[in-house]
């Protein structure tokens, strides 16, 4: 069975994903392939990878926090992150922008400048889109990529090691500072406003044995469950190993939780969670190729769900809920 013909992937828990399951049931055979980061379409001896991501004012960002150009960058990076999770090479971006009536032409051009710069950072162009008016800013970003052997969320097997790229929690640190009326530390603000889609990392991991992969858009606490469900395994993750951004500690202290828990419950880090064979020992080569750390944080085991541990103690984590 080709990736394009795959059945629905199992999804982890959460109100958003129960709605997706309802859509899957409604669509039946006409909804094949739902539940992964990208739609995969055969193209000769390779595949197209296509994904759409929506960024809505007051839901995903606030203009009191970030600039208009950063809105465009952030929305584009979030969509490109889905290509990274499939190990795909980007080809182009389409952006449908809903523009508030109160905005100016210059405002729209500033948003598109950020989108252009983000697309340019991975060597591609904006190749289409749409414009409409509405009550708030909204960007629906569609990304197109290609891959010889795309990686999905399905494929982890018991015994696989679970790794994460980069460091986590910086985006949440900025968010919590703004919510508390504070100015975020510069590094946290940058991680929130201008995230880097891990395209190079995703392709490297796909080329070096990745069995399953997902980008951490909704946070480790939520997204780990989707990889586990799609693969039909359980994950045991040791949060004491979790690499956290330098800006996390002060905000975690204010929240009264360990930094690793704070980071795991945050979203929009856009790092990659990946299952690799147990014999994988090329983390140093990964870092040399990508300038990112690659850290083993757990193991795939038989069963279902995700068990989070912190210094041997089981933790129950909260995750982002779009419909909360």
- Asked if the structure places residue 12 within a domain, the reply is no
Separation in Å, CA 119 to CA 57, 83, 237, 262: 21, 13, 33, 30
235 shares a domain with 136: no
Name the helix (H) or strand (E) containing 266.
none
The answer to whether the beta carbons of residues 161 and 299 sit under 8 Å apart is: yes
250 shares a domain with 210: yes
202 shares a domain with 88: no
When pLDDT is cut at 50, 70 and 90, the band that residue 55 belongs to is very high
262: CATH:
3.90.650.10
Separation in Å, CA 90 to CA 42, 54, 123, 227: 16, 18, 8, 22
- Asked if the structure places residue 155 within a domain, the reply is no
Q: Which of 67, 59, 291 is nearest to 190 (CA)?
A: 67
| Domain boundary pick from 87, 115, 147 | 147
216 shares a domain with 256: yes
- Helix 199-207 and helix 68-85: axis angle, to 10°? 0
204 shares a domain with 107: no
196-244: per-residue pLDDT in tens? 999 999 999 999 999 999 999 999 999 999 999 999 999 999 999 999 9
State the pLDDT at residue 48: 97
| Domain boundary pick from 117, 147, 177 | 147
Alpha carbons 164 and 271: distance in angstroms, whole number: 7
State the pLDDT at residue 11: 63
98-112: per-residue pLDDT in tens? 999 999 999 999 999
Domain assignment of residue 119, given as a range: 36-147
Q: How many domains does the chain have?
A: 2
166 shares a domain with 133: no
* Helix (H/G/I), strand (E/B), else coil: 247: coil
The pTM (predicted TM-score) of the whole model is: 0.91
Token pair in block for residue 103: 């905005």
């Amino acid at each position: 069975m080709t990736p394009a013909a795959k059945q629905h992937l199992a999804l982890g828990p959460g109100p958003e994903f129960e709605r997706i399951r309802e859509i899957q049931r409604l669509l039946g055979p006409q909804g094949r392939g739902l539940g992964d980061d990208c739609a995969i379409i055969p193209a000769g001896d390779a595949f197209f990878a296509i994904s759409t991501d929506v960024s809505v004012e007051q839901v995903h960002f606030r203009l009191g926090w970030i600039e208009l150009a950063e809105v465009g960058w952030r929305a584009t990076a979030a969509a490109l992150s889905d290509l990274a999770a499939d190990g795909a090479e980007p080809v182009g971006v389409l952006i449908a922008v809903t523009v508030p009536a109160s905005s100016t032409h210059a405002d729209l051009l500033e948003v598109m400048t950020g989108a252009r710069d983000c697309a340019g950072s991975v060597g591609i162009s904006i190749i289409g889109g749409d414009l409409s008016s509405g009550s708030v800013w909204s960007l629906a970003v569609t990304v197109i990529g290609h891959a010889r052997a795309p990686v999905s969320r399905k494929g982890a097997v018991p015994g696989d090691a679970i790794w994460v790229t980069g460091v986590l929690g910086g985006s949440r640190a900025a968010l919590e500072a703004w919510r508390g009326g504070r100015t975020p530390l510069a590094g946290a603000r940058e991680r929130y406003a201008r995230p880097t889609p891990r395209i190079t990392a995703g392709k490297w991991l796909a080329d070096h044995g990745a069995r399953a992969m997902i980008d951490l858009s909704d946070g480790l606490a939520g997204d780990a469950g989707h990889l586990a469900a799609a693969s039909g395994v359980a994950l045991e993750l040791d949060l004491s190993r979790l690499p956290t951004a330098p800006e996390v500690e002060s905000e975690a202290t204010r929240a009264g939780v360990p930094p690793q828990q704070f980071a795991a419950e945050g979203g929009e880090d856009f790092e990659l969670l990946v299952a690799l064979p147990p014999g994988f020992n090329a983390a140093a080569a990964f870092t040399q190729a990508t300038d990112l750390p690659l850290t083993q944080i757990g193991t795939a085991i038989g069963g279902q769900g995700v068990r989070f541990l912190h210094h041997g103690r089981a933790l129950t984590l909260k995750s982002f809920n779009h419909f909360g």
